[in-house]
Amino acid sequence: MKEGDVILTPLPQADGATKPRPALLLRELPPFGDYLACGISTQIHQAVPEFDDIISKDDTDFADSGILSSSVIRLERRLAESENCWNDRQSRA
């Protein structure tokens, strides 16, 4: 895995349960190989203007993202992730 990859990782939900959700690896955190990551959601209406990043099917790099639908990269939802928590690289989120 490397910075910029989209992965599936268990993320907490509002009801306290966890579900495998797509996340974007932002930066490796030395020395243990953990990563700073943020969640990705199709709930674009929840995007925080001037803060979150929306990736749209109209974007030139959309096909390379591995995302299936227009989505919001939720920068306000950051977490540190360990590689042993992830599923294989997310090829289609």
**Structural domain boundaries of the chain?**
6-85
pTM of this structure: 0.73
Give the pLDDT score at 59: 92
Give the pLDDT score at 89: 47
Comparing CA positions, the residue from 34, 29, 20 lying closest to residue 89 is 20
- Tell me: the pLDDT tens digits for 68-90? 899 999 876 655 556 665 554 44
DSSP bridge partners of 37: 25, 79
